[in-house]
Structure 1
Amino acid sequence: MASKKRADEEKLRRRRVARFRFKALVRLVICNNYWLSDIDEQEIGENARRNIALIVRRKGKKGLLTLLEKAILNQRAEDRTQEQILKLNEVFRKLECLSHFPVKVREQLAACARYLYYSAGRTIIRQGQQPLAVYFVLDGEITVSRLQWDPIYKKHVDVLYGVRVPGEMFGEIAFLYGCPRTTTCVSATDCELLCVLQDDFERLLEPTLRLQWNQMMEALRRFQYFDHWSEDQIRECCILAKVNDFNSQQQIAVCGTGGNFEYAYFVLSGQCMILQCLKVKKKMNGLRECYRLLPSESDERQLRVAERLMQRKDSDVLLSVLSPKLRASLSESVLGQQDRESCGGSEDTVPEECVEHHFIDVGSYSCGSVFGLGERMEDRSIVARNHVQCMLIPRYWLFMKHQNTGNVWQRIKMYLEMAIPSREQLFKQFLDDLNWLAYRKKVVNEIVQRRGRQNHTRLIDVPIVCRVEQSRGPN
């Protein structure tokens, strides 16, 4: 009986080993099929050794790495030659996903990192499991989700927390906190990854990541907005947020300026100036200069569409939908076009010499300020006055219910829109300044041209006590 039991156990063990080897072979075939898809079928023959040599020698890229570089990364670390490691060093210095690590660390990673390929729909990390490695995305997209209790359906559901794209890292939180996996990561498309095992992570990557992590935690503590956040929220924010530096006079990308409008900006140091561009039309009325504020770029696009729709039967409905400001601009545009057609002129837009752009310094964002929450940014730019450091947090995540207690971010957005003057208010101030300059010039000319006894008093003849300027004190 004992011998029969041992035979059954041995038979079962062989089946498990065979099943494991078969799965490993299938994964290897899928990975190699991904490689072979980059090679013409005519080049593949019946000679297996020739086919392998052809694949290894091929220099063409599929993703960020060549097939030869992937072949080197698929070898065991101890089997890589010094020449192969030096070749990988050149590649690792240029990889975006490793850009925030020192050059020396990247060169050491060339001796131990591994290449992995996952087809779409594969689970790479599962929530609750023990961590074994960290991953860098070379190509493809990884969806990150977390199990949360749904009080309505009375069960745990997967909640999407974000997406990892090429140049990003995932899987390091479990090592830094010494806890199981906090999220589930699934390949949304065919993905190429760099894998670093736990021992190599602790030896090479953890010191740099620990320092960056502490700096991000310190940056969060400088804002009172995050005092009520839980440890999980702060940890998630440290994963998603990043810190960017901007040089003096460099434009900071926000909503409406064609940049990273998906981020909210928290100023850590330095000052940012708010520049409003006023696009005005200048026209001479005799000897007097007349100005008219032109619509912003977004309004101009609406006007072009409205002008085309005015030719249809539903133009009355269109006019009722447009705002009064756009309605007035549309009427002027239509009348101007009719005048040009009656005079036989061209149908071009306003002549370039009649359009002026005036930039007005509206205010400043100093240390502790926040902007980019979705406030109005028509023809407005944020420019660094000096060296500025900002913490960028994804706006979609910031406006989620747990991070938006009491609608705090909407209230800050409303405050910014009320505190910063609008284009119309700035244009009125612009006209007032022009009128004041014209009036001052007129008064000065009248005094200069006024006839009478000349005053030969010199500045040195006036007592010094009379020349001292007295500042106005508080009333």
Structure 2
Amino acid sequence: MMKRNRDSHLLRKTMRTRFKKLVRHVLLNLQFLDETEDQGISMNVKKNVAFLVRQKRKTGVLTIAEKALLRAKHSTRTIEERKRLCMIIATQPCFSRLPPKIRARLVSVLHFMTINTDRVIVKEGDVPIHVYFIVSGEVEMIKSSYDKITKKVSKVTEAIVGSGDWIGDVEILEDCTRINTYVTMTTCELLAISTSDFLGILGGFVKKQWLEKKAALKSLSYFDFLTEDQIIRACKNGYLMQYDPLQSIYSEETTGINYVHFILSGECVILQCLKMKVIKNEGQTTFELLNVSNNPQSLFQASSKSLKSQRIDMQGRYNILTDSVFNLQELLATSSEADREEALERKKAVSS
């Protein structure tokens, strides 16, 4: 009798635990409950219209079917499911800079997880075990700071990372303990990979880029005053970009400047320097091109009008000083070419 009661108590406890786990998963996936699996095009016109409407969803947000596929063991996945996972991973912003072969190798080792708000993902000072890729949500990056006046350690927010960012890769590349603490600000969906898998699959590719960025920063005198910790943070947030000749760094369609560019090699030219007046009338903003004299110094002289009503645009196509189209070949002529031409003329003069 006692054994039967004990078994009944264990059964109720197990069922209660499973029910709580089920409720927790339902709450975490509440925003996706209205989604249905794609059935494809059929002979029914109404179903086809509904299918096309259902295809519209937020970029980077996984459906229930995709998350279930990511949670499944790799040994149980079919070939078609593995191909589908390769396509899913390719659409995620956090893997956009990786070659297709490396993305395909990640399919078997990535683990999907959902973490609630105000949960610590990585703690400062711990040994790195996993690297996390943020699929959705926001994570707060915190650093411990010691105040010499109050003699207390306070938590300082350094940045907020989100979809497309990596967490925990820097410590593995630098072979050190965790530098920051990461706390979820919203419900986050992450893809995790162990340290051994990260080094085996991504280690060579990521390490090469990391060393190139550190070498690039140390080659510029502008960063001589930075500490090693600041160099690491700059490498974490920076990218190495290569531009082809005549390619625009800031195009006319660019609405804002998100990065500061430091030139490592090559030369750049400013195609235009316009003096504009901004006029705001009844909520509408208009721009007016001001007349500038042929004197180059007048461009930099202070105007009697308010500085708030003026804006200098550093992009365009026409030369305000000559009021004519730029000679692009002349602008792109480097100083080295001018030196060569001068040397050839000097050589001709000596020979004559």
1:125-152 CA-partner distances (Å, limit 9, x unpaired): 1111222211111112211111011234
Distance 1:159 1:301, change over 3 A: farther
Contact persistence 1:97–1:167 (CA under 8 A): yes
- Superposition TM-score, scaled by structure 1 size: 0.51
1:131 aligns with 2:128: yes
1:111 alignment counterpart: 108
Output the CA distance in 2 between the equivalents of 1:109 and 1:252.
33
1:300 aligns with 2:278: yes
How far residue 201 of structure 1 moved from its aligned partner, in angstroms, is: 0.9
Query: Which sections of structure 1, spanning at least 5 residues, go unmatched?
Result: 1-14, 42-57, 279-294, 308-322, 331-375, 384-425, 434-467
1:381 aligns with 2:315: yes
Output the CA distance in 2 between the equivalents of 1:176 and 1:194.
19
Contact persistence 1:143–1:162 (CA under 8 A): yes
1:217 alignment counterpart: 214
How far residue 277 of structure 1 moved from its aligned partner, in angstroms, is: 4.5
Distance 1:222 1:67, change over 3 A: same
1:147 alignment counterpart: 144
1:145-164 CA-partner distances (Å, limit 9, x unpaired): 11011234321111122122
1:423-470 CA-partner distances (Å, limit 9, x unpaired): xxx85x448x9xxxxxxxxxxxxxxxxxxxxxxxxxxxxxxxxxx999
2:193 alignment counterpart: 196
How far residue 199 of structure 1 moved from its aligned partner, in angstroms, is: 2.2
Output the CA distance in 2 between the equivalents of 1:264 and 1:93.
28
Output the CA distance in 2 between the equivalents of 1:145 and 1:194.
21
Output the CA distance in 2 between the equivalents of 1:112 and 1:269.
38
2:294 alignment counterpart: none
Q: Counterparts in 2 of 1:32-431, with a 5 A limit?
A: 32-40=26-34, 63-253=60-250, 258-278=254-274, 296=276, 299-302=277-280, 325-326=304-305, 378-381=312-315, 429-430=321-322
Distance 1:99 1:259, change over 3 A: same
Contact persistence 2:140–2:159 (CA under 8 A): yes
How far residue 28 of structure 1 moved from its aligned partner, in angstroms, is: 6.0
Distance 1:227 1:379, change over 3 A: closer
Contact persistence 2:273–2:316 (CA under 8 A): no
The DSSP-based 3-state class of the residue aligned with 1:181 is coil
| Equivalent residues, number | 282
How far residue 239 of structure 1 moved from its aligned partner, in angstroms, is: 0.5
Distance 1:224 1:76, change over 3 A: same
1:202-239 CA-partner distances (Å, limit 9, x unpaired): 21111111111011111112201222322211111111
Q: Which amino acid aligns with 1:301?
A: I
1:31 aligns with 2:25: yes
The DSSP-based 3-state class of the residue aligned with 1:275 is coil
Q: Which of these two proteins has the greater Rg computed from alpha carbons? A: 1
Contact persistence 2:117–2:186 (CA under 8 A): yes
Contact persistence 1:145–1:161 (CA under 8 A): yes
Distance 1:207 1:274, change over 3 A: same
Distance 1:327 1:153, change over 3 A: closer
Output the CA distance in 2 between the equivalents of 1:469 and 1:183.
61
How far residue 267 of structure 1 moved from its aligned partner, in angstroms, is: 0.7
Output the CA distance in 1 between the equivalents of 2:127 and 2:172.
9
Bigger relative CO (Cα 8 Å, ≥ 6 apart):
1
Output the CA distance in 2 between the equivalents of 1:166 and 1:306.
34
1:390-431 CA-partner distances (Å, limit 9, x unpaired): xxxxxxxxxxxxxxxxxxxxxxxxxxxxxxxxxxxx85x448
Contact persistence 1:59–1:66 (CA under 8 A): no
Output the CA distance in 2 between the equivalents of 1:470 and 1:197.
65
Output the CA distance in 2 between the equivalents of 1:99 and 1:306.
38
The DSSP-based 3-state class of the residue aligned with 2:272 is strand
Output the CA distance in 1 between the equivalents of 2:211 and 2:82.
32
Output the CA distance in 1 between the equivalents of 2:262 and 2:101.
32
Distance 1:302 1:151, change over 3 A: farther
Contact persistence 2:278–2:311 (CA under 8 A): no
Q: Which amino acid aligns with 1:221?
A: K
The alignment yields a C-alpha RMSD, in angstroms, of: 4.0
How far residue 257 of structure 1 moved from its aligned partner, in angstroms, is: 7.5
Output the CA distance in 2 between the equivalents of 1:173 and 1:34.
29
2:299 alignment counterpart: none
Distance 1:169 1:194, change over 3 A: same
